[in-house]
Amino acid sequence: MVAIIDYDAGNTCSVMNALRRLDADFMLTNDKESILSADKVLFPGVGHATQAMNALKSKGLDEVITAVKNPLLGICIGMQLMCDFSVEGNTRCLGIVDAIVQKFVPLNHDEFQKVPHMGWNGIVHSGDALFTDVAESSYVYYVHSYFVESNECTIAETDYNHPYAAAIKKDNFYGVQFHAEKSGKVGEQILQNFLNL
């Protein structure tokens, strides 16, 4: 069973639709025991870091997430909130990964490097099991103005203005900056790989 953490994240419905396409059994829940006993946990997210952290704290989910022992996948801001700190609202995050979430600085001379980073971009990955059968430089879908700096937990990178962490892994915690649930066949493969862990 897959538990999708319910804290009013904006991309929850698209994540559920992606799991339906994969015929995965899932539940949308903010119940501590259901999350901790799930085989896999998905931590979605769209929005502002401070508001998202406040929503997690109001439900006691900040402590639940850090206590998860089975594989957990953070998506978009879900990945960002796994870090120590976000400059968005100067927000103290969950502290699972030792990294800081920074804001993109637009390059005014290049119309293709606008902020937010929105659209399809390629990933270069380390060959981690999360990327089984995913070709190098495959394209995935992004919508974000903030990014996680590349760090020792980085397992995939994307270059937009500069290289940054497209995916991270620490112990049982995984994160992807892109929207796997909106990334077509490549995204479905990555989600299936997560379910297979």
Residue-wise pLDDT for 141-183, tens only, equals 999 999 999 999 999 999 998 899 999 999 999 999 999 999 9
Catalytic choice (117, 153, 157, 181): 181
Predicted local distance difference test score (pLDDT) of residue 111: 57
Closest CA to 80 of 139, 1, 141, 151: 151
| Exposed e or buried b per residue across 37-56, where buried means at least 16 C-beta atoms within 10 angstroms of its C-beta | ebebbbbbbbeebeebbebb
With contact defined as beta carbons under 8 Å apart, do 82 and 173 qualify?
A: yes
Catalytic choice (117, 125, 144, 179): 179
Tell me which CATH code domain 2-196 carries.
Answer: 3.40.50.880
- Known catalytic membership, residue 179: yes
Predicted local distance difference test score (pLDDT) of residue 9: 79
Predicted local distance difference test score (pLDDT) of residue 139: 98
Catalytic choice (13, 63, 76, 125): 76
For each of the chain's 197 residues, which pLDDT tens digit applies? 999 999 987 789 999 999 999 999 999 999 999 999 999 999 998 889 999 999 999 999 999 999 999 999 999 999 999 999 999 999 999 999 999 999 998 666 665 578 889 999 999 999 999 999 999 999 999 999 999 999 999 999 999 988 999 999 999 999 999 999 999 999 999 999 999 99
Predicted local distance difference test score (pLDDT) of residue 72: 98
Predicted local distance difference test score (pLDDT) of residue 135: 97
- Known catalytic membership, residue 33: no
Model pTM score: 0.95
> What DSSP element (H or E) covers 50?
helix 49-58
Instruction: Please tell me the distance from the alpha carbon of residue 107 to that of residue 91, in angstroms, as a whole number.
Output: 25
- Known catalytic membership, residue 48: no
In the chain, where the domains are located: 2-196
